[in-house]
Each structure stands twice: as C-alpha cells, then as structure tokens.
Amino acid sequence: MPGIEIERKFLVDRLPDALPAGQRIEQGYLAVADDGVEVRIRRRDGAATLTIKSGPAQVRTEEELAIDPRRFASLWPLTEGRRLTKTRHVVPLPDGLAAELDVYHDDHDGLLVAEVEFPSLDASEHFAAPDWLGPEVTGDARYANQQLALRGVPAPRR
C-alpha cells in the first residue's frame, strides 16, 4: 500500500541504556485553522522547512518548502506560544526496526514519546515492545505535535 504509513506511538517509561546521539528539532506553528489545516516551520540540523498539512476531514495533503535561515529567523517569533523543541534519538530495535524517540524540552520538559514504523501490518501486530516503552498512545490526538504545541503536555490519565 504505497503512501500508507504503519506506525505505533508509545509513551516512554525510561530512556534505553544505549541512547544514540540525538538531533535537536525546533518546531513552531505559524497558524492552525479551525478545520485543522496547519502551517509549521521546523529547523533540524541547520536545515529549515515550512510545511502545510491538511486537516483530518480533508483529502490528505502535505507540502514542504525549504526556507533559508533568514526566513526561519524572521518567522520564528510568529510561532510564540505554539512551539515545541525536542531531541530525536533513533534507537535500533530487533528485526531491523527502529524507534524515533523524542525527548521534549522547555514547556514539554519530561515528555518522552517514541514512534515505531513497520513494514507491514503483520509486523505491527506482532511487535514485541522493549521494556523501556510505556503505554501505547497511537491515534491519541493529544500527543500529536500540533496539539502538544498548542495545548501542552496532556494531564496524566488516572
């Protein structure tokens, strides 16, 4: 199924013992429309992009434009109050899999989220999660980056 991503998302109970070096990601939302259309800028490893994504009820559209450092610096202040900063560590897992482990900073300090992408539905269903992974939050909108940036870290469930 080309274009379909099979991913599962988990909270992380503790950092794994061998944590590879990470890459810092700064991400801010210029604007999010009522119907969920979002426009964000992101800087990662010195490269900056502006990305537009459709809302949940629309045909899925995503467009990414490279922007130069001057533009990023000019636009960043416009994302005030709608930002997140995280360090992404790519942690190898058995069976050729990998977890993208995001360690959030600043307003989201303490939040650890990992995402694993699978080559097939079968691989996804038979995934043996390592013990450092916590509760699954796949599909939980509160942990989408847009919501984290706009609303902060969700209150713990009881």
- The CA distances from residue 78 to 34, 47, 71, 119, 148, in Å, are 18, 19, 12, 38, 17
Q: Of the ranges 28-36, 91-99, 118-126, 130-138, which one interacts with its own copies (CB under 8 A)? A: 28-36
- Residue 145 parent element (H or E): helix 145-151
Number of residues interacting with its own copies: please give it, by CB under 8 A. Answer: 27
Q: What is the DSSP string of 89-136?
A: EEEE-GGG-EEEEEEE-GGGTT-EEEEEEESSHHHHHT----TTEEEE
Bridge partners (DSSP) listed for residue 90:
100
Q: Shortest Cβ distance from residue 101 to its own copies (Å)?
A: 30
- Is the Cα dihedral 104, 106, 108, 110 positive or negative? positive
Q: Does 50 bind its own copies (CB under 8 A)?
A: yes
* Stretch of 29-37, 90-98, 120-128, 133-141 contacting its own copies, by CB under 8 A: 29-37
Q: Does 67 bind its own copies (CB under 8 A)?
A: yes
For position 22 contacting its own copies by CB under 8 A, the verdict is no
**Residues numbered 80-109 forming contacts with its own copies, rule: CB under 8 A:** 80-82
- Catalog residues that contact its own copies under the rule CB under 8 A: 29-33, 35, 37-39, 50, 52, 54-55, 58-59, 61, 63, 65, 67, 71, 74-75, 77-78, 80-82
